[in-house]
Amino acid sequence: MMKTVQRGALIVIEGVDRSGKSTQCKKLVESLISQNIKAQLMNFPDRSNLTGKLINEYLINSDCKLNDRAIHLLFSANRWENVEKMNTLLYGGTTLVVDRYSYSGIAFSAAKGGMDMNWLKQAENGLPKPDLVFLLTLNHEEAAKRVGFGEERYENEAMQKKVSNIFSQLAKEEDNWRVIEASDSIESLQAILLGHTLDVIARVAKQELKSLHF
């Protein structure tokens, strides 16, 4: 009898700066692996590939001038550079836990203003669609208290508030989002995220991966 191929789930964590995305992504991968579930971490921007090197320069160097549409497309291209790798892993049965994705791309560019929302979304259409998106919400006062805030471009209150509003708007457009208030302890947040993730892994195992279509 032929063995049924089971794919992994595509799980994304989004949220404003310092909301704990990287912390939760790392812990989620560890928790899954400890339960003998194949899992891997991925993060965007992926600063290791070709587009990622340009993006890193843009983020850390405030003197780096780049047209807003050009940097938007670079962030998107940075995801497209990883499509084959994502599909191979997912269809090989590995669950991917992704630290920021297309929604960060849309929200940060939209928060700058001057670019049409549909144009911003267009560059993301066709990328693998997440099975589940967690949105970690945290007010600016709490975020600003956390280590490392304010070191890169975009890490200021006005920008973060706009981004937060756009994330909330995007969360309402699809039914695969879970909005989680992120001021609780790392451990209690992790328990919530793991619960939802295990449900989704079981539910989508035999379903085909969808593509983003805004």
Q: Can you name the residues that pair with 180 across neighbouring β-strands? A: 136
3-state secondary structure of 180: strand
Cα 178 to Cα 32, 51, 120: the distances in Å are: 19, 30, 23
* Partner whose binding site includes residue 8, from ligand Z5A, Mg ion, none (CB under 5 to 8 Å by kind): none
100 interacts with, out of Mg ion, ligand Z5A, none, CB within 5 to 8 A per kind? ligand Z5A
DSSP 8-state code for residue 40: E
Distances (CA, A) of 167 to 53, 70, 99, 104, 130: 26, 22, 15, 8, 15
Nearer to Mg ion among residue 7 and residue 160 (C-beta): 160
- With CB under 5 to 8 Å by kind, the binding choice for 134 among ligand Z5A, Mg ion, none is none
- Shortest gap between Cβ of 3 and ligand Z5A (angstroms)? 36
By beta-carbon proximity to ligand Z5A, the closer residue of 108 and 177 is: 108
Q: At what angle do helices 102-112 and 157-173 cross, to 10 degrees?
A: 130
Strands 39-43 and 10-15: unpaired
Using CB under 6 A, list all residues that contact ligand Z5A: 15, 17-23, 44-45, 59, 75, 100, 104-105, 108, 146-148, 152, 154-155, 182, 185-186, 189
Q: Which one among 12, 19, 22, 145 touches Mg ion, defined by CB under 5 A?
A: 22
Residue 56 binds Mg ion, judged by CB under 5 A:
no
Q: Which residues bind to Mg ion, rule: CB under 5 A?
A: 21-22
